[in-house]
């Protein structure tokens, strides 16, 4: 491995209106190394990447690639120079096939025509190579976000990048898929590809990265070899506080449910062919029910039926004992059910609207568009949730597209929390959220359930599921296989055992 940097950024400054996103940041990347860029939501990680790849022009500073000064006028130019990027938000074209997405802009041709057969064959070989078994002719949109992300990574690998940038690629992958990805990364590193890895999963960062650069409030805190920076010190550098100050979340939820109380929502034999097998599940007032299972196990599909986002073709849902007929997103909202979906970009935020407008959308819809929410009430609620979720910048009038990925996620959560639903359904609420803010969100969920709200939530992080849930529904292969109730069952080990044992009888 040569020690000459492949990328050297010095004194980078980037201003957006009212925000100095980067302030004199230095960053050095060496061939064959995996380098983490760490920091809180809004610290400037994605902006640093976007400056490097020509999405944003820096206001000051220099960039060298292989020792030569560069300044890309866009991601295509950066890509041509050997820098491939997988952005935080999936940016592939949904309605094209998997193969078309892999080869967009560089399709194999036969004369003037695209050679679809060759393209599918090459796509299959490429995915086989990284251990992904997908139907390359199927639309990309028919796969989960996680799969879509892996396809984006496969594309980056195939263009033989000198530098590969991964901005939160693992936030929607399950354990097996993360292993696939980390394996691919190690292989690439051995071939000399340099990688920038951004992730809020500290265990992954420690497993895969050689060095770390830490940013805080747009400034460089420092650069360390991973081996020299213990986790608690890293967190301290990221948050600018002593790690010891970071209190653990106390379980404040337990015991709110009255044992003999009738359930608020009760699913009996609820199911949808090809999506989730018929299941029974109750949720009580003041109770947090977590859904655990591997990616593709049917967690999202389960909650979508209760949320009215998908239509069940068997069984029934009862709310307060009454059958919820004609259940769809509109009637579900009228029944006091709020659903915060996992894909914030396509199902969630309106980029050009402000933070405040995005937050108030669901509440406004619930009142009907003819009766607008009074300005004073609106401003008070928006300010309250900006504070509770520590949304930065704390500016209700900022277009939401200008917020960092994690802060956008918080805006979406606020939207559904502030309608004060009877049942709040959250699909992966803390994905992409930094360690400090994650604790804030978990605390808020506990607080809301303490006030009597029923909460149903999906999370790939078993720690989070066990910490927050009063009961845990475990899924496997699109089937609800167990509901864990007792304290002794609600452990990560027991959930894993249940999932593994669930397959024995097949």
Which partner, ligand ATP, Mg ion, none, binds residue 44 by CB below 5 to 8 Å per kind? ligand ATP
Tell me how far apart the alpha carbons of residues 109 and 106 are, in angstroms, rounded to a whole number: 9
Q: Which residue has the tokens 């069984």?
A: 315
Q: By CB under 6 A, which span of 43-51, 78-86, 151-159, 219-227 interacts with ligand ATP?
A: 43-51
Q: Which residue has the tokens 């009961």?
A: 471
Which residue's C-beta sits nearest to Mg ion? 46
Cβ 345 vs Cβ 358: under 8 Å: no
Position 204 contacts ligand ATP (CB under 6 A) = no
Position 408 contacts Mg ion (CB under 5 A) = no
Residues 62-91 that bind ligand ATP (CB under 6 A): 88
Through-space distance between the first and last CA atoms of the chain, rounded to whole angstroms: 49
Position 405 contacts Mg ion (CB under 5 A) = yes
Both structure tokens of 123: 């796509």
Nearer to ligand ATP (CB atom), residue 288 or residue 349: 349
How large is the angle between the packed helices 175-190 and 145-158, nearest 10 degrees?
10
Position 39 contacts ligand ATP (CB under 6 A) = yes
Position 403 contacts ligand ATP (CB under 6 A) = yes
Nearer to ligand ATP (CB atom), residue 151 or residue 238: 238
Cβ 39 vs Cβ 45: under 8 Å: yes
Residues 406-465 that bind ligand ATP (CB under 6 A): 406-407, 434
Single out the residue of 36, 43, 363, 499 in contact with ligand ATP (rule: CB under 6 A).
43
Tell me how far apart the alpha carbons of residues 12 and 59 are, in angstroms, rounded to a whole number: 7
Q: By CB under 6 A, which span of 153-161, 276-284, 399-407, 459-467 interacts with ligand ATP?
A: 399-407
Q: What secondary structure, in 3-state letters, does 344-390 show?
A: HHHHCCCCCCEHHHHHHHHHHHHHCCCCCCCHHHHHHHHHHHHHHCC
Position 46 contacts Mg ion (CB under 5 A) = yes
Cβ 469 vs Cβ 298: under 8 Å: no
Residue closest to 33 by CA, chosen among 264, 230, 188 = 188
Least CB distance to ligand ATP at residue 216 (A): 10
Nearer to ligand ATP (CB atom), residue 310 or residue 434: 434
**Main-chain dihedrals φ then ψ at residue 182, nearest 5 degrees:** -65, -35
Cβ 197 vs Cβ 166: under 8 Å: yes
Q: By CB under 6 A, which span of 221-229, 286-294, 324-332, 398-406 interacts with ligand ATP?
A: 398-406
Return residues touching ligand ATP (CB under 6 A): 16, 19, 21, 39, 41-47, 88, 393, 402-407, 434
Return residues touching Mg ion (CB under 5 A): 46, 88, 404-405
């Amino acid at each position: 491995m040569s020690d000459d940097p492949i990328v050297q950024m010095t004194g980078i400054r980037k201003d957006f209106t009212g925000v100095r996103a980067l302030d004199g940041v230095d960053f050095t990347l060496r061939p064959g190394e995996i380098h983490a860029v760490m920091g809180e939501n809004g610290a400037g990680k994605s902006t640093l990447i976007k400056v490097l790849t020509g999405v944003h022009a820096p206001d000051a500073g220099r960039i060298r690639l292989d020792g030569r000064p560069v300044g890309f006028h866009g991601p295509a130019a950066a890509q041509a120079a050997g820098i491939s990027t997988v952005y935080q938000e999936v940016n592939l074209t949904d309605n094209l096939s998997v193969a078309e997405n892999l080869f967009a802009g560089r399709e194999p041709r036969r004369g003037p025509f695209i050679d679809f057969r060759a393209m599918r064959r090459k796509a299959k070989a490429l995915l086989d190579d990284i251990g992904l078994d997908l139907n390359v002719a199927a639309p990309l949109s028919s796969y989960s976000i996680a799969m879509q992300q892996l396809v984006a990574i496969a594309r980056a690998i195939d263009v033989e990048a000198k530098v590969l940038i991964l901005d939160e690629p693992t936030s929607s992958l399950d354990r097996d898929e993360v292993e696939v990805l980390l394996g691919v990364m190690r292989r690439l590193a051995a071939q000399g590809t340099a990688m920038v890895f951004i992730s809020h999963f500290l265990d992954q960062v420690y497993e895969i990265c050689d060095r770390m650069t830490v940013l805080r409030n747009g400034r460089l805190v420092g650069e360390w070899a991973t081996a020299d920076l213990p986790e608690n010190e890293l967190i301290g550098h990221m948050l600018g506080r002593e790690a010891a100050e970071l209190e653990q979340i106390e379980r404040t939820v337990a015991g709110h449910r009255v044992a003999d109380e009738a359930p608020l929502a009760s699913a009996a034999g609820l199911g949808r062919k090809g999506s989730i097998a018929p299941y029974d599940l109750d949720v009580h007032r003041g109770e947090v029910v977590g859904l655990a299972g591997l990616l593709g196990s049917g967690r999202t599909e389960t909650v979508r039926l209760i949320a009215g986002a998908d239509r069940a073709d068997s069984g029934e849902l009862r709310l307060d004992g009454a059958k919820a007929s004609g259940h769809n997103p509109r009637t579900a909202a009228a029944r006091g059910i709020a659903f915060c979906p996992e894909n914030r970009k396509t199902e969630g935020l309106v980029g050009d609207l402000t933070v405040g407008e995005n937050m108030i959308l669901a509440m406004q819809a619930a009142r009907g568009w003819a009766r607008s929410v009074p300005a004073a009430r609106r401003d008070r609620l928006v300010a309250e949730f900006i504070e509770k979720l520590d949304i930065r910048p704390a500016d209700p009038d900022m277009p939401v597209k200008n917020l960092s990925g994690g802060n956008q996620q918080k805006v979406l959560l606020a939207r559904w929390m502030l309608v004060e639903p009877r049942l709040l359904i959250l699909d992966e609420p803390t994905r992409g959220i930094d360690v400090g803010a994650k604790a804030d969100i978990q605390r808020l969920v506990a607080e809301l359930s303490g006030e009597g709200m029923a909460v149903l939530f999906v999370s790939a992080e078993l720690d989070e599921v066990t910490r927050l849930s009063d009961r845990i529904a475990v899924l496997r292969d699109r089937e609800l296989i167990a509901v864990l109730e007792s304290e002794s069952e609600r452990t990560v080990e027991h959930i894993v055992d249940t999932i593994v044992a669930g397959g024995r009888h097949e």
